Structure 1
């Protein structure tokens, strides 16, 4: 098949795509930063877009304002980051002032999706300059080569991916809502502001909750007997700290009594409840339990009271001195723990759906563009 046509196409189109310079197809305006003394947090001033930090999920969101107008972009313009990270692309739903970290591009949905593919393909990294701070200039952008079909096909492709983006955005909003709901429940289902009972509570429970410090209730286990190197083969999981806890598998004698155990990431402030016997990969993973604490309830309690991250440091010392409220009633513990476990399952399911949609889009971008 000719490399001038994509692998997947809408019916009725067979012409080869043509290579063009981006600057010959769209108007490009490089940003110019206002003076810093003109920056404000007043929403009545002009929205300022300076770079990647002002874009989220393919859209500009207001974060900083300015009273000084330098270079401008209009509503529906495309915003391209030109300084590290290079190549991030978003749309603006507002008239905005653009700083020197971005460029404004007057392009259609096809151009927007094409620029997104170029970013994921690493196109701009090859042309960025600076050994410690990546950037691209006006010439790099204008001279960038893109392949384009006739305008009717551009419109069909653009419309298809816009609908896919809308679906992704809908699932992202559902995920964000679930996370916000969980955050609210963590606040309301544990006592606060000097109260001895939570604001929200399952019916049938009336006893006061108790206040302690974690060091008074937590039990720790030596990690040394359970350190293991991870491989692709093995019977038992090897756990690290962070958002991706399972790094591989190993054989040997693992930590067996896992049922009410929680693993705490000393550097990352991460939590993981193992589902089977396990090994750990580093001494930064703390093995924790608490007498008369049901496992899911202990996990939830740690989530509610764990310290904020303070960089790459040992957080377990901070955690030990953190005060907490808890109920000794095992039935209430089980209800609270099960409630948050189900909420976590829903969040994980929604995250899986979202990740699948993003992977599908990534694959389609490769097959429907050149």
Structure 2
């Protein structure tokens, strides 16, 4: 992003409008909030828990990877997790790991961890997947690091994140950018699966040829 005119260095040709600068608080429909303590269940329940570890998938939060929770529907209602909610890590061992962002693009019954901060964006104007990409970029990361506090861990609060600034295009451009990167993520996943199959094939061949 070029700071002088609010336009990115590369973009899809049909878009010409200047990107507008916004605080995180200005794209949200409510204050950022922390979740609740993990209350993991060994049995399958109807409620899944979004944890810190789920922030590190590069594309989105995967419900099939979430653990089940003992919390009931009252906790689900209180957390009010919805499609398009964005979550950020509250603490990290290293400053550069602060405020890792990921997005939920599925519906269901969820609660989220007290070590996470939840951002509900105005989905009429902002595409959640684009916002997640934006929050993961260097411009936001630098601001997160400056605002974070470091002792044994590096931590950041809701207000610190709310005050950070970023550039945002019109929603149509956000969606096209999001679709482009989502397609890349899909291709990466497909190639990773093919790579794993080839590794297994190689191992099997080696074991049978060199006994």
TM-score, structure 2 as length reference: 0.65
Aligned partner of 1:270 in structure 2 is 100
Q: Note the alpha carbon deviations across 1:272-316, whole angstroms, 9 max, x for none.
A: 222233222x31112212222121121121122442677832245
Distance, in Å, in 2 between the alignment partners of 1:343 and 1:301 is 16
Q: Retained in 2: the 8 A contact 1:307–1:315?
A: no
Of the three residues 232, 238, 258, the one matched with 2:82 is 258
User: CA RMSD for the aligned pairs?
Assistant: 3.3
Alignment of 1:177-256 (within 5 A): 191-218=1-28, 219=30, 220-224=32-36, 228-242=39-53, 243=56, 246-250=65-69, 252-253=72-73, 254=76
Deviation at 1:346, TM superposition (A): 1.9
Deviation at 1:240, TM superposition (A): 1.0
Deviation at 1:344, TM superposition (A): 1.9
Distance 1:343 1:279, change over 3 A: same
Q: Note the alpha carbon deviations across 1:298-347, whole angstroms, 9 max, x for none.
A: 112112244267783224565444321112x2222211121122122222
Between the two proteins, the alignment pairs up a number of residues equal to 177
Alignment of 1:51-200 (within 5 A): 191-200=1-10
Q: Does the residue aligned with 2:49 lie in a helix, a strand or coil? A: strand
Distance, in Å, in 1 between the alignment partners of 2:35 and 2:180 is 30
Distance, in Å, in 1 between the alignment partners of 2:173 and 2:134 is 13
Alignment of 1:275-290 (within 5 A): 275-277=106-108, 278-280=110-112, 282-290=113-121
Which sits farther off after the overlay, 202-211 or 244-253? 244-253
Distance, in Å, in 2 between the alignment partners of 1:366 and 1:319 is 53
Alignment of 1:345-364 (within 5 A): 345-358=186-199
Distance, in Å, in 2 between the alignment partners of 1:354 and 1:312 is 36
Structure with more contact order per residue of length (Cα contacts < 8 Å, sep ≥ 6): 2
Distance 1:257 1:359, change over 3 A: same
Distance, in Å, in 2 between the alignment partners of 1:338 and 1:260 is 15
Aligned partner of 2:184 in structure 1 is 343
- Relative to its length, the structure with more helix (as a share) is 2
Aligned partner of 2:164 in structure 1 is 322
Of the three residues 331, 344, 347, the one matched with 2:172 is 331
Which sits farther off after the overlay, 268-277 or 356-365? 356-365
Q: Retained in 2: the 8 A contact 1:213–1:324?
A: yes
TM-score, structure 1 as length reference: 0.40
- Relative to its length, the structure with more strand (as a share) is 1
Q: Retained in 1: the 8 A contact 2:34–2:116?
A: no
Distance 1:316 1:350, change over 3 A: farther
Distance 1:230 1:293, change over 3 A: farther
